[in-house]
Homo-oligomer: A and B are copies of this chain.
Amino acid sequence: MAKVSMDLVKQLREMSGAGMMDCKNALEEAGGDVEKAFTILREKGIAKASKRAGRATGQGVVEAYLHTTGDGFPPQVGVLIEVNCETDFVAKGTEFRKLARELALQVAGFEARWVSRDDVPDEVLVEERTVYEAKALQDGKPEQIIPKIVEAQVENFLKQNCLLEQPYFRETSRTVQDIIAEHISKLQENITVRRFARFNIRES
């Protein structure tokens, strides 16, 4: 199979709204031809997800997960999550609720702090950037490559802390967004994570 560049993957993602791995696979299948890859995604019903991605999500479910360790302590970590869809038909289905459950487990285990990178406050990004810059300077890195180093570290920070970009805990080669996109295709409606809370007794 053809090795595809990240630029092509990015382009296809923007065209289709599909997840990174889906785009990569389609591009490999299409030998690097973006148009052909887009058609493959459409055939699989994955590209259509993007058309649904803008649609209003007024229904949904609130799901909770309490983590118990079995050492006599009551739950020390808990998650509350709201996942939205378009119709009560999907909201009432078991598949949608199972997805919400999976997402609650994901938040409990992988300690996401925000839903997407758009939710990260500016001051947090500025602080991260400042720390990475200082570290790179201290490590004696050549000045001209420091911006690249910092960018890569910020990217890494976002991927670790934003739920949608995290690796899905049951299948770490795919992101949480990939899993949601799969359900959008399957259930034929837009699905969004509106918000979540994660409490840990040990947090100060």
Contact = CB atoms under 8 A, between A and B. Distances in A.
Contacts of A82: 78, 199, 201
- In this complex, which of A66, A79, A80 has the most chain B Cβ atoms within 10 angstroms of its Cβ? A80
A105 to B, nearest CB: 13
A56 to B, nearest CB: 11
A80 B199 contact: yes
A16 to B, nearest CB: 29
Given A78-B80, A80-B80, A82-B78, A60 B201 contact: yes
Interface stretch (A36-44, A68-76, A140-148): A68-76
How many protomers of this protein does the assembly include? 2
| Interface size of A as a range | 20 to 34
A80 B64 contact: yes
A55 interface: no
A60 B66 CA distance: 13
Contacts of A84: 201
Report, nearest first, the 5 A-B pairs whose CB atoms are least far apart: A62-B78, A64-B64, A197-B197, A80-B80, A61-B74
28 contacts: A60-B76, A62-B66, A62-B75, A62-B76, A62-B77, A62-B199, A62-B201, A63-B74, A63-B75, A64-B64, A64-B66, A64-B80, A72-B92, A73-B88, A74-B91, A74-B92, A74-B96, A74-B97, A74-B100, A78-B82, A80-B197, A81-B199, A82-B199, A82-B201, A84-B201, A194-B199, A197-B197, A197-B199
